[in-house]
Structure 1
Amino acid sequence: MAAVAGLFGAFSTVTKHFFEINQVSIDDWAFKLFYKWSTTLFIIASIAVTSKQFFGDPIECDPGHAKVDGAALEAYCWMYSTFNVPTHYKGQCSAGDYDYLDDDLLYNSYYQWVPLYLMSMSMLFYLPRVVWLKLEGGLMKFFCKGTRSRVVEEQDEKREKLVNYFQHHVRGRYDVYFFGFIVCELWNMINVLAFFLITDRMLNHRYLDFGIQVVEYYRLPSDERKLPWVKNPMCLTFPRIVSCDYYRYGLGGGQERINAICILTLNVINDKVFYVMWWWFSVLLLLCIFNFINRVCQSLSCGLRLALITLRLGRYLKNSPKREHIETFLRQCRLGDWFVIYQLCKNLRRPFFMECLTSISYMNDDKDVDSDVGENLISMVLRPDYVTQESEMPKD
């Protein structure tokens, strides 16, 4: 029972961390689809394509009547990954089903690189998260420390501290905070485009429309799929059956060639993995385009910025006696100020946040701001995070 309880506790901890339940949010759900869900997808796919216990050896070869060491033959064919398939070969899902410009069909050793490629992509998709963590610097955690519980202790003191810090250290200086996040979002879109282009190059230019072709093929009736001119795109990109020429020295001292038919068992999972990824990243690409348009509209429209915060606050803003003043402030504040406020709106309890927002809106005309704390991209990257700054502040 103790082991089961420990396992359940570990699972709950991992789940809570993965879904960021009751944690401070420094980005949004769309951003999480890239650094969290896409990275996880790459790692799971990398594990799947290296799991022999589920799919067997990656390659198995049949040399026919020739007497040859099977392990050596399979290691040779797998290592060099050059498969010469006769066009008249009629095996199912074989590379010989397709007509090419020459008689030889060359598959480079991308099979060997697939796990490493997937892991590299997982790191590439996590890089924008690392950069944003550095740019954000723990600002939200600094603001939310001790203010996220249902009952905030010493509420007036903490509200005054939050409002004063915003007024003297954030207001008018954090446009780079907003545009830095946009740059990280654009980086996500570049990563998606890089995935499609690099994968297409790795798969011999057969991936850009791979998902569409597979859907069109399987939408055909089963009898039409058997027609000689109808080709399965999965077999084109990931053939199961290929032919390998193995060269060795015979008993007479001369070199002899042994042709073997090889089954690429690994492609049983490779085609599914890359098919799922094609649709996943196609959706993410559309999301990137929509998100970019949304950010442009946010930058240009103060009405949209106000609507987003109003949507989150609901009746708290609607019933506030200071509603008109708050809305005027939100329309007139700089982009960086609005974005910090919007992030705080997602993390703080709404009654406490409304009190803070009301105080901030009435301090908007105060010009008593420190002149030496301006933020730019370089200063945001080089400065220590807010937790470190707070620990280094002198104690009263």
Structure 2
Amino acid sequence: MAMLAASIVKSLGQLIEPSGISIDTWSCKLSYKASPALLIICTALVCGRQYFGEPIACDAGTARGGIEQNVLESYCWMYSTFNIPREYKGACSAGDQDTNLNTIVYNSYYQWVPLFLIFLAVIFYLPRCLWLLWEGGLMKFFGKGTTTRFIEDQDEKREKLVQFFCRNIHNKYNIYFCGFIFCEFLNFIIVIFQFYLTHRFLHSRYIDYGFKVWQYYLLPPEEQQMPGVINPMCYTFPRIASCDYWRWGTGGQQESINAICILALNIINDKVFLVLWWWFIFVSIISFIRLIYRGIQCR
């Protein structure tokens, strides 16, 4: 655990380390610095939950005799479903999950959550890589030897910069500027794409997740318990699932054992993806405002 924490701190330090020369805007830094850092922290929380308890715990009832508990829980972690009988009493159960009884939704995507979050972090950093390639260290060259309080040989350095400008940069402002605008536009597109990708990853239950959670918790406690009022966190991240475990019986035939499973990891997942939902909204709004500002500049 200590090694994991140390590696995370080191990665975050390299990611958000301040630089003396800035080649982009603070809105771009939200995308390629703050967003990956937040996703890495969320990944650590999701993975760290396993150090404080198992991600799933299953109860096979009277049929538990002769069942290896670790095998049952590993199987159900991969193949548990939402098909819990409607008469089952309990929070975050069938009544809170799916109104279509003929639909069986599989939960196995939960095991991919850490890898999915890391993938999102990498995608967020792609426009930065592209801009570094196009920018080519131009601003670093201009700022070379000028970041200290006292600048030696000012006239000589100024003359070199002017000569370099006339030789390489003159009449190329549009290419440089358009490349930067394209990267800003790419930041906005990536946020929207990741929003949609997460929506698909969570079985189309994410597009209005944060707004519904906000509306739900605005209700008085007594109204939250009323029939027909669904907790959006339970709907998107159910904490109770059903699992049909198949094994060979004593008679040589296969037999099915139904187990009720508690998805403890979803106690972390529902809050992690709630924070990410509001963060995606915030970054997309900032990116859109920045694009409008760039459009006004170009007029």
**TM-score, normalising length from structure 1?**
0.69
CA distance in 2 between partners of 1:130 and 1:287 (Å): 21
Give 1:278's aligned residue. 277
> RMSD over aligned Cα, in angstroms?
2.0
| Matching residue's letter, 1:208 | I
Deviations 1:44-69 (A, max 9, x none): 21222112455421111011121111
CA contact (8 A) 2:83 2:101 kept: no
1:208 equivalent in alignment to 2:169: no
Deviations 1:179-223 (A, max 9, x none): 111111111111111111111111111101000000000000011
- 1:279–1:32 CA distance, 2 compared to 1 (3 A): same
From 29, 53, 56, the equivalent of 2:26 is 29
CA positional deviation for 1:25:
0.5
1:41 equivalent in alignment to 2:38: yes
| Matching residue's letter, 2:223 | E
| Matching residue's letter, 1:49 | V
Give 2:179's aligned residue. 180
Give 1:116's aligned residue. 115
Give 1:100's aligned residue. 99
Give 2:258's aligned residue. 259
CA distance in 2 between partners of 1:207 and 1:56 (Å): 26
**TM-score, normalising length from structure 2?**
0.91
CA contact (8 A) 1:239 1:264 kept: yes
| Matching residue's letter, 1:125 | F
CA contact (8 A) 1:199 1:207 kept: yes
- Look up the SS of the partner of 1:25 in the other structure: coil
Give 1:6's aligned residue. none
CA positional deviation for 1:19:
4.5
- Look up the SS of the partner of 2:251 in the other structure: coil
CA distance in 2 between partners of 1:51 and 1:179 (Å): 43
Bigger radius of gyration: 1
CA contact (8 A) 1:87 1:98 kept: no
* Structure 2: 5+ residue stretches without partners: 1-8
Superposed, 1:1-396 pairs within 5 Å as 18-20=16-18, 23-66=20-63, 67=65, 68-300=67-299
CA contact (8 A) 2:16 2:34 kept: no
| Matching residue's letter, 1:173 | K
CA contact (8 A) 1:211 1:278 kept: yes
- Look up the SS of the partner of 1:280 in the other structure: helix
Deviations 1:59-92 (A, max 9, x none): 1101112111111111111122334211111211
CA distance in 2 between partners of 1:146 and 1:127 (Å): 29
CA distance in 1 between partners of 2:238 and 2:52 (Å): 16
Identity of aligned residues (%): 53
CA contact (8 A) 2:241 2:263 kept: yes
- 1:97–1:89 CA distance, 2 compared to 1 (3 A): farther
- Look up the SS of the partner of 1:49 in the other structure: helix
| Matching residue's letter, 2:222 | D
CA contact (8 A) 2:82 2:98 kept: no
CA positional deviation for 1:96:
3.8
- 1:16–1:234 CA distance, 2 compared to 1 (3 A): closer
| Matching residue's letter, 1:236 | Y
- 1:224–1:37 CA distance, 2 compared to 1 (3 A): same
CA distance in 2 between partners of 1:176 and 1:94 (Å): 57
Deviations 1:256-314 (A, max 9, x none): 111111000110110011000000010111111101001111111xxxxxxxxxxxxxx
Give 1:327's aligned residue. none
CA distance in 2 between partners of 1:78 and 1:229 (Å): 29
- Look up the SS of the partner of 1:82 in the other structure: coil
- Look up the SS of the partner of 1:50 in the other structure: helix
CA positional deviation for 1:17:
7.1
CA distance in 1 between partners of 2:298 and 2:52 (Å): 51
- Look up the SS of the partner of 2:131 in the other structure: helix
